C-alpha cells in the first residue's frame, strides 16, 4: 500500500515556510491529507536546540480530509536582526504532539536586500520526492509569486502560487504528482520561479525510474 493509502500516517506535510516582513514573521504550511488530527501548534526558540515554547495555541485542523489544505500563523513578537527558529507540531486526537518540521527565519535589513534566488533542487536526480527552495527579495515578495514544474514540452505539471508572501526563504516538497494527483513518469522536468516584479528563474530536475 502506498503512503496515501496507509492510515498509519496521520498527516502528509508538503511544505512549511517562513517569511519576514515589517517586524513580523509569517509561517505557512500545506498538508496533502489529514487523518486523526486535532490541529497544529507553532513553537519558537532562539536556537535550533531550543528550548521551544508554544506561541500559537491549538490551530484547528480541517479534520479527516484527503484534499490539500493550507494554514498560516503570524508571529508579531520578533526581535529585529535576530534569527528565530520554528517547529510545526501536529496534535493527534489522543492529545499527543509530534514535531513535523523545523525551520528558521532572520529579520534584518541586510537579509531583505538579498536578491531572489532559486536554489538547486535536492536531491537531483530524485525519486519520488524533491525539495524545491528559493529566496525572495524585498521587491519580489511584494507581489504574486508562482512556482511551476513543467515537462520538456512546456506543459504545466504542478504549480504553487502565493500572494504578497514577503521576502525570505521558501521550501516546497514535490512528490512527483501532477495537478490531478497522478504520479508522473521518469524524465527531465523544468522548475520555474516567476514573480509579478518580472523575475524569472529556471532549472532542470530529473526524476529517476
Place of cell 521550501: 171
- What average pLDDT is seen over the chain? 86
Query: Domains of the chain (ranges plus CATH)?
Result: 3-108 (2.60.40.10), 113-207 (2.60.40.4070)
- Grid coordinates in use for 90? 501536529
* Per-residue confidence (pLDDT) for residue 125, from 0 to 100: 96
pLDDT at 124 over 70: yes
* Per-residue confidence (pLDDT) for residue 11, from 0 to 100: 65
pLDDT at 5 over 70: no
Burial 159-170 (b: 16+ CB within 10 A, else e): ebebeebbbbbb
pLDDT at 183 over 90: yes
* Segment 104-118 mean pLDDT: 74
pLDDT at 88 over 70: yes
**Choice among 13-17, 31-35, 84-88, 101-105 with the minimum mean pLDDT:** 31-35
Contact between 83 and 104 under an 8 Å Cβ cutoff? The reply is: yes
* Per-residue confidence (pLDDT) for residue 21, from 0 to 100: 72
Q: What is the pLDDT of residues 94-109, one digit of tens each?
A: 889 999 999 999 875 5
- Give percent of the chain above pLDDT 70: 89
pLDDT at 10 over 60: no
Q: What is the pLDDT of residues 129-154, one digit of tens each?
A: 999 989 888 889 889 999 999 999 99
Higher-scoring residue by pLDDT: 107, 27: 27
Tell which residue, 59, 56, 57, has the closest CA to residue 34: 59
* Per-residue confidence (pLDDT) for residue 24, from 0 to 100: 80
pLDDT at 1 over 50: no
- Grid coordinates in use for 19? 517569511
Q: What is the pLDDT of residues 43-72, one digit of tens each?
A: 999 999 889 999 999 999 886 667 788 899
- Grid coordinates in use for 162? 502565493
* Per-residue confidence (pLDDT) for residue 182, from 0 to 100: 93
Contact between 140 and 199 under an 8 Å Cβ cutoff? The reply is: yes
Amino acid at each position: 500500500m502506498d503512503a496515501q493509502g496507509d492510515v498509519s500516517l496521520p498527516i502528509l506535510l508538503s511544505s512549511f515556510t517562513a517569511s519576514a516582513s515589517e517586524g513580523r514573521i509569517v509561517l505557512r504550511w500545506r498538508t496533502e491529507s489529514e487523518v486523526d488530527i486535532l490541529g497544529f501548534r507553532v513553537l519558537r526558540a532562539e536556537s535550533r536546540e531550543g528550548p521551544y515554547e508554544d506561541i500559537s495555541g491549538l490551530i484547528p485542523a480541517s479534520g479527516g480530509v484527503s484534499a490539500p489544505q493550507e494554514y498560516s500563523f503570524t508571529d508579531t513578537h520578533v526581535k529585529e536582526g535576530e534569527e528565530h527558529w520554528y517547529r510545526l507540531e501536529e496534535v493527534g486526537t489522543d492529545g499527543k504532539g509530534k514535531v513535523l518540521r523545523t525551520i528558521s527565519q532572520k529579520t534584518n535589513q541586510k537579509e531583505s536586500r538579498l536578491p531572489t534566488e532559486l536554489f538547486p533542487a535536492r536531491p537531483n536526480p530524485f525519486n519520488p520526492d524533491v525539495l524545491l527552495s528559493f529566496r525572495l527579495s524585498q521587491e519580489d515578495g511584494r507581489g504574486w509569486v508562482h512556482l511551476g514544474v513543467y515537462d520538456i514540452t512546456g506543459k504545466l505539471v504542478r504549480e504553487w502560487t502565493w500572494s504578497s508572501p514577503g521576502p525570505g526563504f521558501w521550501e516546497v516538497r514535490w512528490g512527483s504528482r501532477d495537478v490531478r494527483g497522478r504520479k508522473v513518469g521518469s524524465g527531465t522536468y523544468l522548475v520555474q520561479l516567476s514573480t509579478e516584479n518580472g523575475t524569472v528563474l529556471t532549472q532542470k530536475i530529473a526524476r529517476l525510474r
